[in-house]
Amino acid sequence: MLARAFHDDPVNRWMFPDDKRRRSGSERYFALRLRQLIGQGEIYTTNDIVGAALWARPTSWRLGLRKHLQFGTLIPVLGPRFPRSLRGLSLVQRHHPDNPHYYLAVLGTDPAHQKMGIGSALMAPVLQSCDASGVPAYLENSNEHNTTFYTKHGFRVTAELRLPNGPPIWLMWRDPQ
């Protein structure tokens, strides 16, 4: 489902430019992200799995060496783009805020179910927790069209990064409300 949700995403197209091979590469990438985050207990989906939100808890968003090395499993699908993709990941991580926050690593809805409130519903439990506990939230937005969506949920753009020979990413922060 996440591979379908991100099929035309600018960063996904940058990582996997071949339309025919993008789905398999995306499926591997999102399966890896799920494995890296599932132990934190902040994964939200719909009953019919048409949407998913993958969060990291405060102070637990950093990828240790072992999790960084797991990106090596993407070499077969990234091929010669692997070093560039790793540089992009490192660039984004260098700009990740250090203070404690919930990190929305992935939010996606199947294209046939977008614009129905599913993404908002999937973010709601953690955003409510953020507000109740006074903890901020953070995300990297890879699609400029989604900026308005996140802004409606209290996020604001704090910086714009450009991936190596690639598209921009908007870093977004949300103070507790």
pLDDT reading at 66 higher than 80: no
Chain segment 97-115, per-residue pLDDT in tens: 999 999 999 999 999 999 9
Give the separation between CA 6 and CA 102, rounded to whole angstroms.
Answer: 22
d(CA 74, CA 64): 17
| Tens-digit pLDDT profile for residues 109-144 | 999 999 999 999 999 999 999 999 999 999 999 999
Beta strands in 62-175 (DSSP E): 102-109, 137-141, 156-162, 168-174
Asked if pLDDT for residue 69 goes beyond 80, the answer is no
pLDDT band at 65 (very low <50, low <70, confident <90, very high): low
Q: Tell me if 26 sits within 8 A of 12, measured CB to CB.
A: yes
- What domains sit in the chain, N to C, each tagged with a CATH number? 2-174 (3.40.630.30)
Q: What are phi and psi of 97, to 5 degrees?
A: -60, 145
pLDDT value at 93 more than 90: no
pLDDT digits (tens, 9 = 90+) for 4-14: 999 999 999 99
Q: What three-state secondary structure class fits 34?
A: helix
Q: If pLDDT is split at 50, 70 and 90, which confidence band does 84 have?
A: confident
Q: Per the confidence metrics, is the pTM higher than 0.75?
A: yes
Selected residue with higher pLDDT from 72 and 89: 89
CA distance 164 to 125: 34
Query: Token match 């990582």: residue?
Result: 15
pLDDT of residue 68: 60
> What pLDDT is recorded for position 79?
80
pLDDT at site 59: 81
